[in-house]
Structure 1
Amino acid sequence: MQVFISWSGEQTRELGYALKLFLDTAFAGHVSTFLSDADIAPGERFLAAINSGLDDAELGILLVTHTNQRSPWLLFEAGALASKTTAGSVIPILVDVDRAELDPPLSQFQNVIGTSRDSLVKLCARILNESTTAPGETAHRILFEQAWPALHDAVERAKQWERSSATPRRDVNEMLEEILLSVNSLVLRKAPESAFDLGWQPPSSRVRNNTFTLRPGDEIEHEQFGHGRVSEVTGEGSKAVAHVTFDLAGFKKILVKIAPIRVIER
């Protein structure tokens, strides 16, 4: 029997190796496993090897975490495996995500809990029943008991990896503003040094654009967006950003230092 092990992200890389070793040990090498990180040789065409592994697989095991359950690679491999039979050839192993938290389409597959010995016994029972070359039930049970502790420890390490390595989700508006600043910084770098004062500026409730200051409540005229009113100014110095609602263009964030604007006389 050929088993395809699907993983995505550093959190499940080591766990993939642990699962491969577990299956090799529990079935005495009579069950073949495919793990992309281990079974694709240097120089081999990656996608071709993946497709070959998917084609040969009779069962797919997905290592699913809270952060990778929407991974395009994981979903692609799950879809390819699921299309092979109507009986269902995909088994997700849940690492740090509860069954109630599992999103579609992976939630449609009957899953097992990675830290649950009983769950892994059931997974192995299916492989044992469907494999024509697996060892006898008694031999398998002895080998399972030998292999299980190492796999359980690997799942626990993967769970701890998530707690220690995950970063909190960032606000979307904050990320968009950072992208805006980064892009406009490239413009500043390409401009002649004499065009802008790139030195440090002390914190202030007002920001300076060459010869004038800008503050909330100011009305401005933008060469492209037209008339607008400033609602907020964030950042300092050359990174100051004005939040402006324009009459025709709507809400925009503009980098004050290089924006083609003028303040309408107060």
Structure 2
Amino acid sequence: MDIFVSWAGRDSHAAARILREWLPEVLPFVRPWVSSEDIRKGTRWSDELWGRLQRTSYCIVCLTPSAIRSPWVNFEAGAVARAVRGPSYVSPLLLGISPTDLAGSPLAMFQCTEFTERDVERLLKAVNTLATAPIPESQVSVGLGRTWASLRDEIGRIDLHNTEDSEEEEDAIDDDTLDGWLHETEEKILACVAWSGDDRPLTAKLIAHLVNQNHVVTRHYVDQLVHRGFLHEQRIVGHHSTYVITSEGRAYAVEEDLT
């Protein structure tokens, strides 16, 4: 059973790596996947990530005070919720924050797990019920009881309040996604905006509807296209931003026969 462990920033990344090693100790059937550890050398990062998001059965989001502000974890969680065929589940694991800190965040729609032994046990049992061959619940409780102190101590050694360079890894990821190609969803977005024309600028919500995609995922790709110079964001006080295609974006659309 594949479990996608999402992270953003150094503290969140440290927690994700700890979970990657710890989860199979309690649930031996799980295969935790952490992008920094499990993407094969020589593989295009974005292809591997998107394929993994579509194959995973459960997503644990390592949320720290710095990661909660990251658009990247929102993107991954939204992608799992939208892309997985069949049952999909997302659980933000709250590290150094409380459920009230998620107010206004897209992640607030998911069932959060506080970092307490009792709540983590609930999370493990929820994952266990999704397994093809689940282990007895009593075995889950015993496994957690045996390893909880060690997990708590390892997580406790992470400096959850150090935000210096917290977006370093995320920036490197985003640079890779911009390296000379567009994702299929980005091309769909570009085609829709090009078709709409300059006199009918589109909001991110309308774009999401047109490309039949989750709003969080769409917003991430729209931001990427703006960053690359293929879309222009029009901001009007008191209204949602709208987007039109740039000359660079139109040139790409024509070259790739998107219009």
Kept after mapping to 2: 8 A contact 1:14/1:154: no
Q: Distance in 2 between matches of 1:48 and 1:164?
A: 31
Structure 2 length normalisation: TM-score? 0.58
Check 1:44–1:135 CA distance in 2 against 1; reply closer, same or farther (3 A cut): same
The residue type paired with residue 113 of structure 1 is E
Q: Quote the RMSD (CA, aligned, Å).
A: 2.1
Please list, as runs of the form range in 1=range in 2, the aligned pairs for 1:56-67 lying within 5 A after superposition. Answer: 56-67=55-66
Q: Distance in 2 between matches of 1:88 and 1:130?
A: 10
Residue equivalent to 1:125: 125
Check 1:86–1:45 CA distance in 2 against 1; reply closer, same or farther (3 A cut): closer
Structure 1 length normalisation: TM-score? 0.56
Asked if 1:100 corresponds to 2:100, the answer is yes
**SS of match in other structure, 2:157:** helix
Check 1:36–1:96 CA distance in 2 against 1; reply closer, same or farther (3 A cut): same
Residue equivalent to 1:16: 16
Check 1:76–1:163 CA distance in 2 against 1; reply closer, same or farther (3 A cut): closer
Residue range with higher mean Cα deviation, 44-53 or 84-93 = 84-93
Residue range with higher mean Cα deviation, 47-56 or 127-136 = 127-136
Question: What is the CA distance between 1:157 and its match in structure 2?
Answer: 2.2
State percent identity of aligned pairs.
Answer: 25
Instruction: Decide which structure has greater strand share.
Output: 1
Q: Distance in 1 between matches of 2:102 and 2:150?
A: 25
Q: Distance in 1 between matches of 2:100 and 2:141?
A: 31
**SS of match in other structure, 2:134:** coil
Q: Distance in 1 between matches of 2:22 and 2:151?
A: 6
Q: Distance in 1 between matches of 2:149 and 2:164?
A: 26
Question: What is the CA distance between 1:12 and its match in structure 2?
Answer: 1.5
Question: What is the CA distance between 1:124 and its match in structure 2?
Answer: 0.6
**SS of match in other structure, 1:60:** strand
Cα deviation digits, residues 195-239 of structure 1 (max 9, x gap): xxxxxxxxxxxxxxxxxxxxxxxxxxxxxxxxxxxxxxxxxxxxx
Residue equivalent to 1:53: 52
Question: What is the CA distance between 1:6 and its match in structure 2?
Answer: 0.3
Q: Distance in 1 between matches of 2:125 and 2:143?
A: 13
Residue equivalent to 1:42: 41
Kept after mapping to 2: 8 A contact 1:7/1:13: yes
Residue equivalent to 2:161: 163
Residue equivalent to 2:111: 110
The residue type paired with residue 76 of structure 1 is F
Please list, as runs of the form range in 1=range in 2, the aligned pairs for 1:138-217 lying within 5 A after superposition. Answer: 138-158=138-158, 161-164=159-162
Q: Which runs of 4+ in 1 moved over 6 A?
A: none
Asked if 1:2 corresponds to 2:31, the answer is no
**SS of match in other structure, 1:42:** coil
Please list, as runs of the form range in 1=range in 2, the aligned pairs for 1:65-76 lying within 5 A after superposition. Answer: 65-76=64-75
Kept after mapping to 1: 8 A contact 2:95/2:160: no
Check 1:164–1:67 CA distance in 2 against 1; reply closer, same or farther (3 A cut): closer
The residue type paired with residue 45 of structure 2 is F
Residue equivalent to 2:78: 79
Q: Distance in 2 between matches of 1:72 and 1:20?
A: 22
Q: Distance in 1 between matches of 2:87 and 2:132?
A: 18
Question: What is the CA distance between 1:165 and its match in structure 2?
Answer: 5.4
Residue equivalent to 2:203: none
Unaligned runs of 5+ in 1: 168-266
Equivalent residues, number: 163
Unaligned runs of 5+ in 2: 166-259
**SS of match in other structure, 2:12:** helix
Question: What is the CA distance between 1:15 and its match in structure 2?
Answer: 1.0
Q: Distance in 1 between matches of 2:49 and 2:135?
A: 28
**SS of match in other structure, 1:162:** coil
The residue type paired with residue 98 of structure 1 is S
Q: Distance in 1 between matches of 2:21 and 2:145?
A: 13
Instruction: Decide which structure has greater helix share.
Output: 2
Q: Distance in 2 between matches of 1:105 and 1:23?
A: 26
Check 1:70–1:45 CA distance in 2 against 1; reply closer, same or farther (3 A cut): same
**SS of match in other structure, 1:163:** coil
Q: Distance in 1 between matches of 2:154 and 2:52?
A: 24
Kept after mapping to 2: 8 A contact 1:31/1:134: no
Question: What is the CA distance between 1:135 and its match in structure 2?
Answer: 2.6
Q: Distance in 2 between matches of 1:98 and 1:129?
A: 26
